[in-house]
Amino acid sequence: MSRRQVGSTRRNGTFSLSGAFHSKSRSSPLLSIGLVVVRAIPVLKKAYGDSMRKVLHVGPDSCSVVSSLLKEEETEAWGVEPYDIEDADARCKSLVQKGIVRVADIKFPLPYRSKSFSLVIVSDALDYLSPKYLNKTLPELARVSADAVVIFAGYPDKQRAKLPELSKFGRPAKMRSSSWWIRFFVQTSLEENDAAIRKFEPAASKRSYQPSCQLFHLKSYN
C-alpha cells in the first residue's frame, strides 16, 4: 500500500473521504517504522498497562497499527494517516470509512478534543517535519494525550531513502540525534516518562525486542 503526503491546503488539515484513496502518486517513507510499532505492542502493554485502553497512532501504516491494536483485549484504537492512502485493502478502507483512521495533515491541529486518548503513539512522521512545524505538532500530540506520548524516530546514521527518491516524499527525512530530541522536548516543556522507561526496558529485554529506531517516552501535559 503506497501513499503520498497530504496537501496542506485542505481546510483544517483534514482530508475528505472521497479524496483519501488514489491509484498512483507519491509513496510514503520507504522503510516505514509501522512494523516496528506493531512488534512493540506487547512490550508497550507491559509498560503502560491501563494507558493502553484508548490509543491514538499517528503516522504511515496507521491502518496496520490500529488493526493490531484493536486485536488486543480492552483496547480501543484510532489512527491519523499523514499520507494519502493508495491501493488500500478492504480492511483499511473500512477503518477510514468508519472514521477510526483519518487522513489528515499533521501540521494542522488534530481533530480531537484535549486528552481524548490515554496514549498517543507517533511513528515515522516527525522526521519529515521542520522545526517550525514540530513546534506546533508535538505540543498538539501532547494536548490530545491524557497520560503519555511515545515517539518512534529514525537514527541519524540510518538513511531510509536514496537521493533520487527523496522527491517522492516532499522533503527528505531529517534524522536527528537523541540529544537534539531531548533539547527539543525541554523547549516544548515535555518531560521524559521515567516510570514508563523503567517498565519498558526490562519488558523489551525479556521479549528480545530491539527496535531499529529511536524510542522516546514522554509525559503528557498536566
CATH number of the domain within which 61 lies: 3.40.50.150
Predicted pLDDT of residue 209: 95
Quote the percentage of the chain above a pLDDT of 90: 65
Coil/strand/helix, residue 85: strand
Cell numbers describing residue 6? 497530504
Average pLDDT over residues 49-78: 95
Predicted pLDDT of residue 170: 56
Q: What is the DSSP string of 10-77?
A: SGGGB--GGGSEESS-----SS-SHHHHHHHHHHHHHHHGGGGSEEEEESTTHHHHHHHHHTSTT-EE
Rg (alpha carbons) of the chain, rounded to whole number: 16
Rounded CA separation 20/1 (Å): 13
Instruction: Report the alpha-carbon angle 92-113-62, nearest 5.
Output: 20
Comparing CA positions, the residue from 1, 51, 210, 214 lying closest to residue 122 is: 214
Query: What's the domain count of the chain?
Result: 1
Least trusted range by pLDDT, from 2-6, 104-108, 114-118: 2-6
Q: Check pLDDT > 60 for residue 29.
A: no
Largest pairwise CA distance in the chain: 46
At 175, is the pLDDT very low, low, confident or very high (cuts 50, 70, 90)?
Answer: confident
Q: Check pLDDT > 50 for residue 162.
A: no
Average pLDDT over residues 183-189: 95
Quote the percentage of the chain above a pLDDT of 70: 78
pTM of the model: 0.82
Predicted pLDDT of residue 193: 97
Predicted pLDDT of residue 179: 95
Predicted pLDDT of residue 171: 63
Print the domain residue range for 40: 3-219
